[in-house]
Amino acid sequence: MASEATHEEAGHAEDAAHTQTQGEYIQHHLQFLTYGKHPDGHWGFAHTEEEASEMGFWSFHVDMLGWSVALGLLFVLSFKKAAEKASAAAPTGFQNFVEWVYEFVDQNVKDTFHGKSALIAPLAMTIFCWIILMNFMDLVPVDILPWVAQTITGSHETAFRVVPSTDPNVTLGMSISVFFLIIFYSIKIKGVGGFLKELAFQPFGPKMMPFNLLIEVPTLLAKPVSLGLRLYGNLYAGELVFLLIALFGAFQLPAHFVWAAFHLLVVPLQAFIFMMLTIVYLSQASEDH
């Protein structure tokens, strides 16, 4: 009897330890599954937000990297399969969908990009579809996949996020990649001298070079920052609202469905904006003044 009472008390103590306040619940759901180097020199997963912070720059958000790669592979392999099995005589529903997406992206590229490059349309389609898939993960109920991760690890402390576009490392990584393409096309089309002259001599002419640089350099550097932070901010806000709705308990379903319906507009819109700005920036980089 004493042994049973002891086990029961231990169970109650464990449940109490796992009870979270509303603030702790939200804070825990906003943590990443982080892998990095601990202060004592060994590599491993962070168990608390403080440990993740101590790991510094050379740490990895394993959950975000994993979902990004998995969703990217899902896009590539599914579209590749549709292309291999394409049939003009008896097209499937998925083939029609893929063709519609291709035509939609290709038309936007033709209307916006004024240079000549075989890379822009595939790049735009990859960005659009990849970001949509990442954004749609925000519609998965916020507790399901973290609960699966905690069940697998056996620890209630395991942090696990599933929306890659709520991680600024992911969104800024994509926007910085676009920024490098902007620089590449600017130098390819205009040459190094032409690119530097464009920065130094526009818009007021050579005599106003210092003022031109004060305008053009921040404008150039702001492109990847605004591109990445816009996507991150909108999806992070959406995720936060879903977490706040989850605190309603049994009354969360009506609010959850209303916000999810509204979020269905945000998910493709943010992917479309990122794609269109990428096309516009690369079009500007390809124009030789």
For residues 149 and 160, the answer to whether their CB atoms sit within 8 Å is: yes
Please report, as a single letter, which amino acid is at residue 210.
P
Does residue 234 carry a catalytic annotation?
yes
Q: How far apart are CA 174 and CA 190, in angstroms?
A: 24
Say which residue the tokens 């991150």 belong to: 232
Catalytic choice (68, 230, 283, 286): 230
For the four alpha carbons of 70, 74, 75 and 77, in that order, the dihedral sign comes to: positive
For residues 31 and 162, the answer to whether their CB atoms sit within 8 Å is: no
Q: How far apart are CA 268 and CA 279, in angstroms?
A: 16
Helix/strand/coil percentages in the chain, nearest 5? 75, 5, 20
Does residue 53 carry a catalytic annotation?
no
Catalytic choice (135, 165, 234, 286): 234
Q: How far apart are CA 222 and CA 219, in angstroms?
A: 5
Does residue 161 carry a catalytic annotation?
no
Catalytically active residues, by annotation: 226, 230, 234
